[in-house]
Amino acid sequence: MNVLILGAAGQVGRAVAAARPKVHQCIALDHSELDITDAQAVMAAMQRHRVDWVVNCAAYTAVDLAESEPALAQAINADAVGHIAASAQSTGARLLHLSTDFVFDGRSSVAYLPDSEVNPISVYGKTKLAGERHVLALADGIVLRTSWVYAAYGRNFVLTMLKLMRERAEVRVVSDQRGSPTWAGGLAQAIWAMMDKAPAGGVYHWCDEGTISWHQFAVAIHEEANELGLLRRRIPIWPIATADYPTRAARPAFSALDTRSTCKAAGVPAIGWRKQLRRMLIELQASGMIDGLRA
């Protein structure tokens, strides 16, 4: 296959490019190389590269900032996806688009299925849902929702926690929001498996196995990082309520995703979140980038 990766500088884009099986080719473009809000530029790129698949990892992900920049979030998360979908249809490429658990309102008590009712409660979630609809208008477009994504690079919860744990005598983390972490490396493997299997168009879910709170995730990060020697000391990790940590954007209190249909379609199992966390921390340790998280 010949695959075009959009948003190649982000966590997932980098992971997808790095996970490329040797039998396939890929072109990885970041924002500096292709502005996805420019419909003509998107069409020109698609015509030039003549790819079998497009993986759209590009997104406006500043959840709180989106509340004051709704037009920009709409342009990137929705309108630009329309450009990509139209270009994919015109050139005969299939489109796999990354979306989010934030399309749900969090009122469920069981993991959301791909066909569960959507009801986003933030600008970010609403614009991502609008983008999904452009993809699903294609006969074979794939929307792959994921949640709580992290990697050994970029901006994410794990790296933020490691920095705070090196700097502070204690850390407080929300304990009444529950979901499933997703290591970008594992997500990338699932994406390549999806393209290899080429399932029918529609909505799919991918995250690591298990449902936890942000506080439980922070405690695990602290424990695993200390075991690996990435932290020099142990500190208290205190649970707090969402009300004690107000944010501009509302967040779903529960956003676990049911991945069973994706596991079947891709032919790969979901792996436990803690095992994936340790893999990421080992990768971070090997890279030496932990030194940039100075106390």
Assign domain 2-150+182-209+251-271 to a CATH class. alpha beta
Q: Looking at residue 201, what is its pLDDT?
A: 97
Q: In the chain, what percentage of residues exceed pLDDT 90? A: 97
Which pLDDT belongs to residue 289?
A: 75
- CA triplet 84, 191, 115: central angle to 5 degrees? 75
Output the pLDDT for position 55.
98
Is 50 exceeded by the pLDDT of residue 46?
A: yes
- Average of per-residue pLDDT values in the chain: 96
The mean pLDDT value for 34-43 works out to 97
Q: State pLDDT tens for residues 54-91.
A: 999 999 999 999 999 999 999 999 999 999 999 999 99
Question: What's the pLDDT score for residue 227?
Answer: 96
Instruction: Give per-residue pLDDT as tens, 225-244.
Output: 999 999 989 999 999 999 99
Q: What band does 290 get if pLDDT is binned at 50, 70 and 90?
A: confident
User: pLDDT tens digits, residue range 153-167?
Assistant: 999 999 999 999 999
Per-residue pLDDT, 149: 98
| Span 104-117, average pLDDT | 97
Cβ(174)–Cβ(30) under 8 Å? Answer: no
pLDDT at position 205 over 90: yes
Active-site positions?
A: 124
295 has a pLDDT exceeding 90:
no
Mean pLDDT for 195-211 is: 97
